[in-house]
Amino acid sequence: MPNLRSVYHKLESNYLPLIKGRQTALLVITGLAGYLSAYPFPIHIGHLVHLMGTLFLTISGSTIINMWFDCDIDAKMLRTCHRPLVTGQVKASESLFLGLALLVLGLGWSLSLSVVYTAIALVGIFFEIVIYTFWLKRRTAWSILLGGLAGSMPILGGRALAMGEVDRFGLLLALIVLLWIPTHNLSFAILRLDDYQRAGVPTFPSVYGSGATYRLIAFSSLLLAIIMTMFLIGMELVPITLYVFIGFQVGLVGLALMAWFRSSAELSAGLFRYATIYLFCCMFVLAANAF
């Protein structure tokens, strides 16, 4: 028993932080919502299990490789300087092997489900690792937006797995997540501006100023509300679901506009937290509509 406890403690303290559990869970949830949005098409419980497994593996693998490559940046930031790779609890070679192993397992599993789904997973991995992590993050403030394409792939993949193809509603769902990313990530960049500057990572607030950043957040939130409305109308959801979504939209756009006109650390923090709750609730309502 002591050995089992020590193994569990090592996994919890050394390896679980490598996959950024809350971020990974949120992306897995978007994939599930994408799959369930295909209702009334047949929904297979087995597919849901396979979807969660493949998403967990590929997203975790990509995240670990991101953390392996950015270890030097993490060491300079107060928020990340205690991560296992920085402190030496996990060796760089060990994390790289683990990340690659998870990716191979996830992609192999995906391929047994659907070629289309696997292709979407590969696009997400390419944008996350090659475009965002290796190429853009250290070079341009636009990295978080262009690299955000990776974050929109799980929901597109989930929908495609259910439908057997990429359809217009799947693309709308991917666009919804893509437009959500500026609100979530840029509000966080404002909150952690000093940390990113200390690490030498260009962000929208540091390059273009907080005013331009808040305007971009407000614009993307408004555009998100429009695209979400188009999606809801096209899906012909029940009225109560439509009203719930409208309530979420009003809250998000309202907070974004308040942060623009009355910029403060409190509003930025509130916007960041609300954006996370917003996406989770939207995905939950979308998935619940299938039952």
The whole-number pLDDT of residue 201 equals: 94
Which CATH number goes with the domain that contains 62?
A: 1.10.357.140
Query: What's the rounded mean pLDDT across residues 95-99?
Result: 95
Q: How confident is the model at residue 96 (pLDDT cuts 50, 70, 90)?
A: very high
Query: What's the rounded mean pLDDT across residues 38-47?
Result: 79
Query: What's the rounded mean pLDDT across residues 35-62?
Result: 89
The whole-number pLDDT of residue 1 equals: 46
| Mean pLDDT over the full length of the chain | 89
Into how many domains does the chain fold? 1
Q: How confident is the model at residue 44 (pLDDT cuts 50, 70, 90)?
A: confident
Task: Evaluate if residue 6 carries a pLDDT over 70.
Answer: no
Give the global pTM. 0.92
Task: Evaluate if residue 8 carries a pLDDT over 60.
Answer: no
First to last CA, the chain: 42
* Distances, alpha carbon 98 to alpha carbons 23, 186, 291, in Å: 18, 30, 37
The whole-number pLDDT of residue 162 equals: 92
Phi-psi group of 70: left, alpha or beta (phi > 0 → left; psi -120 to 50 → alpha; rest → beta): alpha
Tell me which residue range forms the domain holding 208.
2-288
Q: 102-127, pLDDT tens digit by residue?
A: 999 999 999 999 999 999 999 999 99
Detail the DSSP E strand segments found in 135-231: none
Q: 77-93, pLDDT tens digit by residue?
A: 999 999 999 999 999 99
Task: Evaluate if residue 3 carries a pLDDT over 70.
Answer: no
The whole-number pLDDT of residue 262 equals: 83
Helix 210-235 × helix 239-261 angle, to 10°: 170
